[in-house]
Amino acid sequence: MADIGLLNEEDEEDEDFDEDGMELEDMEGELYSEERLCRLLNAIKDADTELICKKVKEDVDRFVGDALQFDDITMLALCYQGSQE
Q: Which ranges of 1-85 does DSSP label H, i.e. alpha helix?
A: 34-43, 49-64
User: Length of the chain, please?
Assistant: 85
Kindly give, in sequence order, each residue whose CB lies less than 8 Å from that of residue 77, ignoring residues fewer than 6 positions away: 49, 50, 52, 53
Q: What is the pLDDT of residues 20-73, one digit of tens each?
A: 667 889 999 999 998 999 999 999 999 999 999 999 999 999 999 999 888 878
Q: What is the pTM of this model?
A: 0.69
Domain-by-domain residue ranges, the chain? Answer: 28-85
